Amino acid sequence: MNIPDTSADVDPIAAAAAIVHIQQLAIRYAVKVDQRDIAAVAALYTPDIDCGHWGRGRDAVIKMYGENDSTMAVSIHQVTNHLVDLVDADHATGVVYLLAEHQQHDGSWARLAGAYHDNYECRNGQWLIAKRRLLFWYRDSDTLPSTVKRDTTYRVFAKWPTLPEAWPSWTQFWSEHEVPARPHASLDRR
């Protein structure tokens, strides 16, 4: 359900509060990742989160972020455009855009743009990330520094779905519209 929706079972004030709490998850996540406070990052996830080959649970989150974040020196994450849809009083989905700058150990910088596709759950009165999938528009550096300490195939961005093609609506739109041969004249600046 989209919120606020006064006809739904969820009180509009409670729904608005839930959305604010969920949006704060994304902000807290970005700040805590950049601070390398990985225990605080892990606390934003459900206790039974599935972290793929790292395992399940918050200890797996700590292991996953320890491996990932040690491959870069400084990071600057900006989260924006956080769309939240409440499913019911205890479940929600969301898409939150990400712009990140990563300083590599060799001093060079890489930039990426992506979008987290999340599932959220309210447990014991606290909203948490229950599932997270990151899709990318681009990363301007696909090379890893020689100091990488983990599986080098993990950050091969070409193997992950990319945006905007991963969105079904994108494919549908372009199946119904032609690409213009030339940009609109008002956009041509000479």
pLDDT tens over the chain, length 190 residues: 444 443 456 689 999 999 999 999 999 999 999 999 999 999 999 999 999 999 999 999 999 998 888 888 889 999 999 999 999 999 999 999 999 998 888 788 888 899 999 999 999 999 999 999 988 888 775 554 455 443 444 444 455 567 777 788 877 887 787 777 665 555 544 4
Tally of structural domains, the chain: 1
Give me the CATH number covering residue 64: 3.10.450.50
Domain extent for 44 = 12-176
Q: How far apart are CA 120 and CA 18, in angstroms?
A: 10
Strand partners, 122: 127
